[in-house]
Structure 1
Amino acid sequence: MWLNLAYATALTAVSPLVLHRMIRHGRYRRGIGQKLFGLSPDQAAKIRGDAERTIWLHAVSVGEVNLLPELVHRLEKQPPEIALAISSSTYTGYDLARKHFGEERVFFCPLDFTWAVRRTLKNLACEKLVLAELELWPHLIRCAKEANCSVQVINGRLSETSAGRYQQFAKLLRSTFARLDSVGCQDSSAAERFVACGVASENVTVTGSLKFDNAPRSRDTTEVNERINWSGMDPWHRVWCFGSSQAGEEAMALRVYDRLRSQHPELRLILVPRHVERFDEVAHLIESRGLSPIRRSRDDSQYADQWDSNEVILIDTIGELRHWWGVGQIATVGGSFGDRGGQNMLEPAGYGCAVSFGPNTKNFDTIAKQLIAADAAVRVGDEQELEQFVARCLTDVPAADSLGQAARELVNQHRGAYQKTLEMLLPKNSTPLQRAA
């Protein structure tokens, strides 16, 4: 009860800001009923169809949603027939999930009020709640267990910093960790931290990172080729893709590009900001450098015949970065030069790009270390080192290609996490009914 009160107090405190943004910018309006009151019987019935039971998969945003298509595909093959419901917490994650799975089985995750999560669990007839990476909401997990619904974490990651913070509030959160029925971790370090936070050791296993399995295997796909044609890329171009960028990183990339393009007329730049609300800001930033932004969201097909070095392609759409990595030969993974902690560097690695990232990759610490140890990526400390990296990729193409080949080989060596995850979710010794649950 006290936690409901705490949530309500926090929501009341920020309500003037929320209301202002709802009225002025139209934010927070979508899914407000599902967030505050849970999934209605009619909405749940559309998801369940004729199935008697449901597996609810929750992915907080775009990165987690992108892990689910292959897992959903494999779960759909499991007898007997079960319904699969997918929730997300963000607008971008919700929209991408609808693209992947269809709008009829995607919904906004309820806020962690007991009435909202209980209503959702009941109406879905939910017997298994699967959390991608980790969404530690005490009421959601407790109410699921009270409803005889198992709770499992897939692709579990828990940084040293996050684990330390959870342990500071052990009296409040240890019981939540203890309620987790199984946790499939990306690596042994994460497994140890989950146990330290309260998960029973027998419920923790290392399944590996789904991001390795989810990484691309080839550039020769319809999605990549369509973008190559759209961009007007020529075989002699060397394309640098800076993806998942945060504030400050685009300006740095543009400065580096400006200094290098006069010496290397073959160099081209693609910028992919991580957040929708910054698309216009980045477009103006490109213009302020005397360059022309070619925006993916607009009809810029007139540029498809020729991509000039005075132009920078700005990907101001959601869910496309995976394919744009395949257009480039040089890749820099954003969110790693500030305090964000990095983003997924395995997508460009899977394509065999020459991969670089900044000094802060705490969110992908193990993967970053694996890539560096295998000579499959380069960590750059600042703008000067980033410029040196891109310049080396332009002047020593065989070395850049060797870096990319090592990255691709590392990704291929670590595939197999989906099968291990499926075995954790649906153990072989369970009955068909238990397997469906």
Structure 2
Amino acid sequence: MWLYNFGLMLYALAIRLVSPRHPKAKLWIEGRKNLFERMARTIDPKARIVWIHVASLGEFEQGRPIIERLRKEFPEYKILLTFFSPSGYEIRKNYSGVDYIFYLPIDTPSNARRFLDIAHPEIAIFVKYEFWINLLTELRRRSVRTYIVSAIFRRNSIFFRPYGSIWRQALESFDTMFVQNEESKSLLSDLGFDNVVVAGDTRFDRVAEIAAAAKHIEIVDRFRGGQRLFVAGSTWGPDEELLIPLMNENPDVKFVVAPHEMDEGRIARLLAETRGGGVRYTRCTPQSDFSGVQLLVLDTVGILSSVYGYASWSYIGGGFGVGIHNTLEAATFGLPLAFGPNYQKFKEARDLVTLGAARSVTSADELRAWFAPLRDDEELLRKTSRIAKDYTTRHQGATGIIIRTIFRKENSRQ
């Protein structure tokens, strides 16, 4: 345990040292200044609190269906949401679906005690990952009902290593572990845990909600016109290396490319090297003429999930880096998917590849070979689209399982 605490101290020190030169690290430090004082001023000491913790934005989207179901069905509770990462907190710090939003303090024993003294949760829910040992130990000591949702365990993770004893002990803090698949349940069973429910992944519920609430985006609608649209989401440089030849070889297809980061050099290159002409979304007006424009660069945030609704095919970026981005937002609209080779960590991507709704590509030639049949064969396109849509529909329902289980147990205690 001392090694864990020492490692946290080094981590916090490293963040502090780089913060003057690293904007994200600076936000990490600044967001935690006077944290407990701000919490004490804000959180009602008499409120019944459900605390939900997420690492960053992706985990927030997984937790959001639970938050919104809680708000609707159990209004007697106040909801406290915490983030570990600035990339989640800074984007969602004004989210109106909860009562309190804060950063999570660094997980020292004293911080864990102080945080829980102020937050006083009746229920604690961790989303997917984030196994903070001191907090989990203190939650168990206080008999706070604690859960993890949409979790996934792999045999090569630290829990199953000879040196993972403190992490295995941390799992004892959870009253129920809601996992995504049978493999996770089996692995936990090997460790002696029988408090495991295979509920699935709440992201399927979230993307269904997103699709149902998709916005009409007038600029995208006019840009597409009467042509078919290809949408590439959350792209990085290596993804765009493949996409530029595809655009130039398909002048009759319209393309939307949404870079993951607004890198001006990459945006300029996309616009310059697309022979059919391109324009930035933020430069468009209701009077913009798209008749001679093949590429629309989506240089804004918050609308990509709705843009997928206008498409016939999609490409998901990130697969030439640490891993692909969200495939489900596109698949829920019934879009065939392509992405780079680093997708093995994502069960839904593996499933879609196995089913034939997605393909991993490593070169422009492979992307071309995937796209051409789907462009030219309407029946193949319909079949592939149906597989993608059916997959996302079939896996919905995790949120209901989680809420019913937690509150059935909670009510049984009263």
Q: Given the alignment of the two structures, is residue 327 of structure 1 paired with residue 307 of structure 2, yes or no?
A: no
Alignment of 1:256-335 (within 5 A): 256-258=246-248, 260-261=249-250, 265-274=251-260, 276=261, 278-287=262-271, 289=273, 294-296=279-281, 298-301=282-285, 304-306=288-290, 308-317=292-301, 319-335=302-318
Letter in 2 for 1:39: F
Letter in 2 for 1:192: S
Change (3 A) 1:103 1:381: same
Structure 1 counterpart of 2:175: 181
Q: Given the alignment of the two structures, is residue 431 of structure 1 paired with residue 414 of structure 2, yes or no?
A: no
**Following the alignment from structure 2 to structure 1, what is the Cα–Cα distance between the partners of residues 287 and 24?**
33
Change (3 A) 1:251 1:153: same
Match among 230, 235, 246 for residue 236 of structure 2: 246
**Following the alignment from structure 1 to structure 2, what is the Cα–Cα distance between the partners of residues 27 and 164?**
27
* 1:203-243 per-position Cα deviation (integer Å, ceiling 9, x unaligned): 111001112222237867551x22x5346333422211111
Change (3 A) 1:164 1:145: closer
| Displacement of 1:255 | 2.9
Q: Given the alignment of the two structures, is residue 35 of structure 1 paired with residue 32 of structure 2, yes or no?
A: yes
Instruction: Report if the CA contact (8 A) 2:242-2:363 is conserved.
Output: no
* 1:18-44 per-position Cα deviation (integer Å, ceiling 9, x unaligned): 2222xxxx443436355366433x435
Instruction: Report if the CA contact (8 A) 1:38-1:115 is conserved.
Output: no
Change (3 A) 1:243 1:44: farther
Letter in 2 for 1:431: N
The alignment partner of 2:223 has SS state of coil
Instruction: Report if the CA contact (8 A) 1:69-1:100 is conserved.
Output: no
Instruction: Report if the CA contact (8 A) 1:236-1:266 is conserved.
Output: no
Q: Given the alignment of the two structures, is residue 377 of structure 1 paired with residue 374 of structure 2, yes or no?
A: no
Instruction: Report if the CA contact (8 A) 1:240-1:267 is conserved.
Output: yes
* 1:302-322 per-position Cα deviation (integer Å, ceiling 9, x unaligned): 6744164453323342x4332
Letter in 1 for 2:25: Y
**Following the alignment from structure 1 to structure 2, what is the Cα–Cα distance between the partners of residues 283 and 339?**
19
The alignment partner of 1:400 has SS state of helix
Structure 2 counterpart of 1:229: 219
Instruction: Report if the CA contact (8 A) 2:45-2:118 is conserved.
Output: no
The alignment partner of 1:183 has SS state of strand
Change (3 A) 1:239 1:68: same
Change (3 A) 1:425 1:218: closer
Q: Given the alignment of the two structures, is residue 149 of structure 1 paired with residue 148 of structure 2, yes or no?
A: no
Match among 334, 337, 342 for residue 355 of structure 1: 337
Instruction: Report if the CA contact (8 A) 2:71-2:97 is conserved.
Output: no
**Following the alignment from structure 2 to structure 1, what is the Cα–Cα distance between the partners of residues 66 and 242?**
37
Structure 1 counterpart of 2:325: 343
| Displacement of 1:294 | 3.6
Matched length: 412
Which deviates the most, 98-107 or 82-91? 98-107
The alignment partner of 1:236 has SS state of coil
Structure 1 counterpart of 2:196: 204
* 1:50-78 per-position Cα deviation (integer Å, ceiling 9, x unaligned): 75321111121221111233211211244
Q: Given the alignment of the two structures, is residue 90 of structure 1 paired with residue 85 of structure 2, yes or no?
A: yes
Letter in 1 for 2:256: I
The alignment partner of 2:315 has SS state of strand
Which deviates the most, 167-176 or 403-412? 167-176
| Displacement of 1:417 | 1.1
Instruction: Report if the CA contact (8 A) 1:293-1:313 is conserved.
Output: yes
The alignment partner of 2:107 has SS state of coil
The alignment partner of 1:233 has SS state of helix
Instruction: Report if the CA contact (8 A) 1:34-1:110 is conserved.
Output: no
Structure 2 counterpart of 1:5: 6
**Following the alignment from structure 2 to structure 1, what is the Cα–Cα distance between the partners of residues 61 and 375?**
32
| Displacement of 1:85 | 0.8
Alignment of 1:106-121 (within 5 A): 106-121=101-116
Letter in 1 for 2:411: T
Change (3 A) 1:311 1:273: closer
| Displacement of 1:131 | 1.0
Match among 357, 375, 387 for residue 394 of structure 1: 375
Structure 2 counterpart of 1:411: 392
Letter in 1 for 2:297: I
| Displacement of 1:104 | 5.3
**Following the alignment from structure 1 to structure 2, what is the Cα–Cα distance between the partners of residues 105 and 391?**
50
**Following the alignment from structure 2 to structure 1, what is the Cα–Cα distance between the partners of residues 339 and 221?**
24
TM-score normalised by L of structure 2: 0.87
Match among 69, 75, 95 for residue 70 of structure 2: 75
Change (3 A) 1:140 1:294: farther
Change (3 A) 1:103 1:180: closer
Alignment of 1:10-25 (within 5 A): 10-13=11-14, 15-21=16-22
Please, what is the CA RMSD of the aligned residues?
Answer: 3.0
Between the aligned residues of both structures, percent identity stands at 18
Letter in 1 for 2:86: Y
| Displacement of 1:382 | 3.5
| Displacement of 1:186 | 0.8
